[in-house]
Amino acid sequence: MLSDDVRFHLTYSIGKEPADASPADLCRALSLAVRQRLTDVRLATERRYSERDAKRVYYLSMEFLIGRSLDNNLLNLGLRDEAEKLLSARGSSLDSVLPQERDAALGNGGLGRLAACFLDSLATLGMPGYGYGIHYEFGLFKQEIVNGEQRERPDHWFAHDSPWIVEHLDEACLVPVYGHVEHQLDRAGNYNPMWLGWKVLIGVPHDLPVVGWEGKTVNVLRLYSARASDEFDMQIFNDGDYFKAVEQKAASETVSKVLYPSDSLAAGRELRLVQEYFLVACAVRDIVRRYTKAHASFDAFPSKVAIQLNDTHPALTVAELMRLLVDEESLDWDRAWEITRAALGYTNHTLLPEALEKWSVPLFEKVLPRHLQIIYEINRRFLEEVSIRFPGDVARLRDMSIVEEGETKQIRMAYLSIVGSHSVNGVAALHSELVKSTLVPRFHEMWPERFHNKTNGVTPRRWLLGANPGLAALVTEAIGPGWVSDLDRLRGLDALAGDAAFQEKFAAVKRENKVRLAALIRSLTRAKVDPDSLFDVQIKRIHEYKRQLLLVLHVIHDYFRLVQDGDVSGPPRTYVFAGKAAPGYAVARRIIRLINSVGEVIRKDPRVKGRIEVVFLPDYRVSLAEAIVPAADLSEQISTAGKEASGTGNMKLSMNGALTIGTLDGANVEIREEVGPENFFLFGLTAPEVERMRRERSWDPWGVYQTDAGVRRVMDSLAGDVFCPWHPGHFLPIFRRILGEGDEYFHLADFGSYEEAHRRVGETFLDRPAWRAMAIRNVARTGKFSSDRTIREYAEEVWGVAPVL
Amino acid sequence: MQVEERSVGSYTVVTVVDARIDAQGADDFRAEITRVAQGGNRRILLDLSEVTFIDSTGLGAIIASLKQLGPDGDLVICGARNSVGSLFRLTRMDKVFRIFATSDEALAALAAG
C-alpha cells in the first residue's frame, strides 16, 4: 500500500512522527514511496531489454528541462487517486503537497523541454531510450522582478537532495581533458600520436527514472556530475597543501556547476567547451560499456546503438567515438568511421547564425588536442570526397570545410555533426526546408538522402492530462480515455465543436482554469485580473526574434486607442507575459522592463477602467507554464517568419484550447494546417518575403513610421517618457533598435497586419459560441503534436528501434 | 617509489610496489629505471600488477624511460589492471609497448623471441 510506504519514509527516511509531517515532508515521503515502485519497474525493464538484446537509443542533450516529477509519476503509474486519498486522510492534499517540489530547471527552454517530452514518449512507447545530460548543481537562474527589472538568483535545485535521483559512484568514469599530443612511432614504425599531459575529471552518474504511461516501462535519464580525482586530492592533502587541494577539487567540480543560459555568448568560453566534452565523454564511455557487456566485437554496434545529438552541443560525440574506436579499440579508421556515422543522428534546432556553435582552434587545441587532430583528419577525408564530387570547385571546399579559415580558425560544430551523422533533421516542416535551402544547401546537395523533417511534439500526459485535469476529464467523458496514449483520438471531439451543451462544459473548464490563474497572478504580482477578460498569453524565452516587443507595441496601441481615441470596441484583455532574458542580453532585459512599465502605467490610469491589464509573471519555468497554458484564450506565436525552428509552447497552448495568433513560422504552419485556417489568426510576412526584403534591403521602418499615425504614436511614446517618467529616455534604445538600427526583426513591417488580426480576435471572442467552437476544434485537431508521434517517426526512420514490451 | 627487481633470462623484472605512479612519484620512478639500466640491463619487464592508478605524468615517465633505454633497450609492460590498461589504450601507448596480462605470460613470450 502506498500509505504504508509513505508512513515508513516519514518515520525512517525523514525521521518524523507521521502526525507532525509538513507538506514538504509529505512531498518527500510520497516521492520516495513512488520511487520504490519506479525502481522495481526500472530493473524489470532493463532485464527485458538485456534478454532481448534490444537496440537502444541514447539521447544526448546539454539540457533536460524536467520540471516537477511527482505528479507526472503518480499519473503515469495510475497512483494519483490513491495518493490523493492518503493525503486527505492526513488532512492534506495534492494541491498543497505537489508545489513543494522544486522544478528541475536543467534547461533554458524549448530544446531542453523537448528532450524531457521525448523521454516520456520513449517510455510510454516501451522503447529502450536513455537520456544523457549533465547534473548541474545550479539550473537556469531564478528570475525575480525588482522595480520592473529582471534580477537573477542562482537556482540551487536540490541537486544533491532530489528524491528521484540515485547516484551510482560504482559506475563513475574517468575523463581526461587538456594536455598535448606527442608524435611518436608505434612498434611497427607507423605514426602513433599519443595524448599525454591531460588532467583528469571523474564523471559520476546520477539516474533519474522516467516512467511511461501506465507504468510498464521505466527508462533512465543519466546525469553526470564532475568530481575531482580522489587520488590527486589525497596526495596533495598528504603533502599538507590543503588550500591547493581544495582549489583543485573546486576547479574540477566547476564543470557541472552551472547551466549556461542561452544567448550568453557561451561560444568562446572554455568552461562550456569542457562541459560539452564532459557530457560526451561520459555518455560515450557508458554507451560502449553497456554494448561491450553483451558483444565481443563492434560489428553489431550500429544495429544495437543509436545516438541522437540534440543540437550541436554534443557534436563532439563524432570525434570522441572515433577516438575511442580508433585509439582505444584499435579499429581501422574506415571501419570506425562507418560505425560512427551509422550510429549518429543530428537534430538542428536553430537557423540563427549567431547560435550556430563554433570553437576557436587554439582553444580546441588546448582543451582537446587529440580530438582536434581527429577532426582535421575527418575534414581532410571529407573535403577529398567533396573535391571528387565537385572537381575544381575551391569555393565549395572553403564553404563546406569543418574548419573555417580566418584570422582565427574555427571549428564549425554543425558541419562536424552533419558530416559525422547518417541523419540530419530539422524540427518542423518549414524549418527543415530552410535547413536544406538556406542554412546548409551545399550539404543538402551532397547528401540529399540524409536530410529530413521530424516535427516536434509535446507529451499529452504532462501538458493535458496533468496540467489541465478539468479538460482531460471532459475529453475522457466525451471520447473515452484512449487519447492519453493515442492523441489522434482527440479528433472525436470535432463533432462536438458546435454542440451547445459541450461548449458550456468546455467554457466552464476554461473559466475555472482562468480563475485559478487569476489567483496565482494576484499572489505573484498583486495585480487583480478579470477571469472573464480575454487572456492573451505570450510565454517563452525573451528574445527579439520571438517579438515580445511586437505584442508590447500592440498593447500600447490598444491603450492609446482606448484613452486617447475613446475606442472601446473589443473585449477587455489581460495580457500575460512570462519568460527569462539571458543575463547578458541587454535588449531582452530592457523589453522586460518595458512590459512592466507599460503594465504599471496602464494599471494606474483611471481611464482604462479594467479594460486592459498587463502582467509579467516572474520566474517562468515548467510548473508555471503548467498553470498558465490551461487558462490561455489566445496564444501569441508571433516570431519573425523564418526565425523560430518549431516552438512547442504553440502546441501546448493549442492542445489546451487556446487559439493562436501567429505568423507562418516554425510549427505554426503545421498547427494552422491541422486546426484549419479558419481556426487560426494568421498575420505577417512569410519567410520568403522576409528573406527577399532582407536580400534586397528594401525594408524601411522609417517609411512605416512616417505614413502610419498609429505606429508613430506608439513609437514616439517609447522615445518620450510616457512609460518611464522616473527616467526619461529609458526606452529610447528600443526606439532606436527599431528605427535607428533597421528593425532587424521586422516589427513594424508586420504591425499593421498584426493589428488587423487582433481586431478579428476581439470580434470573434465576443461571439462566444463561435470562439468556443474554434477552441474545441483546436483541441480536437492537435493529435499530430503528441511527442509520441515524433518519437515513432524517429524510431522508424532514424534509429531503427522498436518497442520492447 | 618502491620497486622490486629480479632477473629472469635476458630481462630484469621491475615490479612497482606503490599503488600509484603520479606527478609525485614520476621522478622517482624514472630514477629507479635509470638505476636498473645503469646496473647493466637495458631490457626491462615492468610489472604493474600492484599499481591501481597512473596519471598522465606517470604515463609520461614510462614513455621517457623507454626513450632513455635507447635502441638497444626494451621496456615491456605486464600485469596492468583494467583501470591502468585503459589509460594505455586511451593514450595509444599500447601501440608503443608490448603489453602482456601477467609476468609469466610476458616472460614466456620474450623467451620464445
Q: Collapse the DSSP code of A585 into the 3-class scheme (helix H, G, I; strand E, B; otherwise coil) and give the result.
A: coil
Say yes or no: do domains A53-68+103-454 and A460-790 share a fold.
yes
Q: Which residue has the cell 587554439?
A: A362
Q: Collapse the DSSP code of A540 into the 3-class scheme (helix H, G, I; strand E, B; otherwise coil) and give the result.
A: coil
Yes or no, beta carbons of A187 and B93 under 8 Å apart: no
Of these residues, A371, A454, A540, A784, which one is catalytic? A540
Interface of A with B in 148-177 (CB under 8 A): 174, 176
Which chain A residues are within 8 Å of B58, Cβ to Cβ?
none
Minimal Cα distance from B23: which residue of A?
A: A232
pLDDT at A242 (0 to 100): 67
Yes or no, beta carbons of A176 and B20 under 8 Å apart: no
**Known catalytic membership, residue A349:** yes
Q: What is the pLDDT of residues A487-546, one digit of tens each?
A: 999 999 999 999 999 999 999 999 999 999 999 999 999 999 999 999 999 999 999 999
Yes or no, beta carbons of B92 and A193 under 8 Å apart: yes
Domain of residue B42 covers 3-111
∠ CA A537-A538-A540, rounded to 5°? 140
Q: Which amino acid is at A692?
A: R
Closest CA to A238 of B10, B42, B20: B20
Separation CA B110–CA B99 (nearest Å): 11
Residues of chain A with pLDDT under 70: 159-160, 230-245, 262-268
Report ipTM (2 d.p.).
0.92
Q: A748: distance to nearest CA of chain B, Å?
A: 57
Phi, psi of A210 (to 5 degrees): -125, 110
Q: Which amino acid is at B112?
A: A
Q: What is the band of B41 on the pLDDT scale with cuts at 50, 70, 90?
A: confident
Of these residues, A45, A648, A663, A790, which one is catalytic? A648
pLDDT at B39 (0 to 100): 84
State the cell numbers at A316: 563532439
Give the start-to-end residue ranges of the domains of chain A. 53-68+103-454, 460-790
Residue B84, chain A, CB below 8 Å: the answer is no
Buried b (16+ CB within 10 A) or exposed e, A693-719: eeeeeebebeebbeebebbeebbebbe
Phi, psi of A347 (to 5 degrees): -110, 120
Residue A292, chain B, CB below 8 Å: the answer is no
**Structural domain count of chain B:** 1
State the cell numbers at A145: 522582478
Domain A53-68+103-454 class, CATH top level? alpha beta
**Known catalytic membership, residue A358:** no
Residue B60, chain A, CB below 8 Å: the answer is yes
Q: What is the band of B112 on the pLDDT scale with cuts at 50, 70, 90?
A: confident
Q: What is the DSSP annotation of B16-47?
A: E-SSEESTTTHHHHHHHHHHHHHTT--EEEEE
Using CA atoms of A795, A800, A801, A802 in order, give the dihedral in degrees to the nearest 10.
80
Cα dist. A37→A27, A34, A41, A130 in Å? Answer: 16, 5, 7, 19
CATH code for the domain in which residue B34 is found: 3.30.750.24
Buried b (16+ CB within 10 A) or exposed e, A331-365: beeeebbbbbbbbbbbbbbbbeeebbbbbbbebbb
pLDDT at A232 (0 to 100): 47
Of B56, B87, B95, the CB nearest to A186: B95
Domain A460-790 fold: Rossmann fold (3.40.50)
**Known catalytic membership, residue A652:** yes
Residue count (chain A): 805
